[in-house]
Structure 1
């Protein structure tokens, strides 16, 4: 009887450890998702909210992979593209509408808006205002943005700027 009790206690203990381990792993994934979500929110507030590219290395890996064909590769390409966009659109604004995170991937749904006052992407100033929706998807690695994909209403952007009829 004593042996049966020991065996049952061992089985229950093992079950609790296994279940606890699963829960801890689950909690770890949830915590990492939350950290990644906060990381992207901080990046958005500093870089897009304040149009401040000075701390870009804090948020983006040097070899940042960009899947938008308009934006050059790497942190340097990101800096150049957004510096040009910020200069061409002095009232440039980004509004974060929704942010979702799972594991190492974070999705941000937002609105880009402003008035096109200077040359950008080879397009002379149109003095037209625009407002477009976009979904930006980032992969985060070692606490930094490592890769980016987006779905952006570029047709709507160019139409609002008067570039397309």
Structure 2
């Protein structure tokens, strides 16, 4: 795959899986042996753990969820993406009751793409500071 092709895989994941919650796209884009290297200790680091991050944590808490990709850099089989996930806090988010406020979660992630599918993921985000701001109201 070309560098543009692997960047397109990551863009598709962000648009169809994170923003729109499409399970069919998720299944098509995930290697069965996928490993989320940034999964919290004790959490499922496989494909279902990644699906649950978006479908049981973020999507129920944030209405009007969208993803804006600011930058993508590809080298070899890896894609680094700087993005922002935004939405309105209308559901409980990791123990924080709805505030109705707009939130923006800044993310930088690295994805290893194998045969057009997510094989590994590493990521950092500012979700802890977003939660602190929501709690402070």
Q: CA RMSD in A?
A: 2.1
The structure carrying a bigger helix percent of its residues is: 1
2:46 is aligned with 1:74: yes
Pair 1:160–1:91, CA change in 2 (3 A): farther
The structure carrying a bigger strand percent of its residues is: 2
Higher relative contact order (CA 8 A, sep 6+): 2
The gaps in structure 2 that reach 5 residues or longer are none
TM-score (norm 1): 0.71
Moved over 4 A (4+): none
SS of equivalent residue, structure 1 residue 126: coil
State the shift of 1:110 in Å: 0.7
Would the aligned equivalents of 2:65 and 2:87 in 1 still touch at CA under 8 Å? yes
Task: Please say which of residues 35-44 and 98-107 is displaced more in the overlay.
Answer: 35-44
Larger Rg: 1
Would the aligned equivalents of 2:19 and 2:65 in 1 still touch at CA under 8 Å? no
The gaps in structure 1 that reach 5 residues or longer are 1-30
